[in-house]
Chain A
Amino acid sequence: DAGITQSPRHKVTETGTPVTLRCHQTENHRYMYWYRQDPGHGLRLIHYSYGVKDTDKGEVSDGYSVSRSKTEDFLLTLESATSSQTSVYFCAISAGGPRQETQYFGPGTRLLVL
């Protein structure tokens, strides 16, 4: 699926610790996204990127930061993890030309904050 990998796939951490999730793509897509998925909330956009060093906030960006120093990697950092950030995190890329953009998803990272 669009050559997207996420690491780690599972992580357990403690409240207050920093956590970095990595999304890696192999097909040189310009747009990348970080979502979180929680029961009853569907998918919510955290941050997205439209190019190297070009990022913007989504609807639930508080407590999260991102970086994109290379086209292929989009990092999501929880500066100080909280229990409310326990979730499944999905990375996505957008492929396709103008007015035909389609998002494809990575396998996800399950994060448990104790």
Chain B
Amino acid sequence: AQSVSQHNHHVILSEAASLELGCNYSYGGTVNLFWYVQYPGQHLQLLLKYFSGDPLVKGIKGFEAEFIKSKFSFNLRKPSVQWSDTAEYFCAVITAGNNRKLIWGLGTSLAVNP
């Protein structure tokens, strides 16, 4: 079955630390990849997305993600986190022929200490 794995369930960092959140998916065909962020008490917002082309994708708020097809990965990175990045981060995938249905990871909770 198609699935998305986010390896880090809870991450705690200090401000200015670098961030990398892992995301792996299981599907051998064409995929579209997404990272969403959910700030406390809010809805999900799109951070960035990958459809094709340059595998290094830049999103909002200084986030970026790299698609590595050979590793089935789409890890999220930020060079220097801020307290305001405290949130839950979700990786999601749409696979070809899946009728626009997203396959979701379970999320990673990030806490940034000031």
Contact = CB atoms under 8 A, between A and B. Distances in A.
Interface residues of A, number: 25
Interface in B4-39: 30, 32, 34, 36
Given A40-B106, A102-B34, A31 B43 contact: no
Interface residues of B, number: 23
Contacts, number: 52
B102 A103 contact: yes
Interface string A68-92: 0000000000000000000000100
Given A43-B90, A50-B99, A102 B105 contact: no
Interface of A: 1, 31, 33, 40-45, 48, 50, 56, 58, 90, 94, 99-108
21 contacts: A33-B101, A40-B106, A42-B90, A42-B104, A43-B90, A44-B104, A45-B101, A45-B102, A50-B99, A50-B100, A56-B99, A58-B101, A90-B43, A94-B100, A99-B51, A102-B46, A102-B49, A103-B92, A105-B36, A105-B45, A106-B43
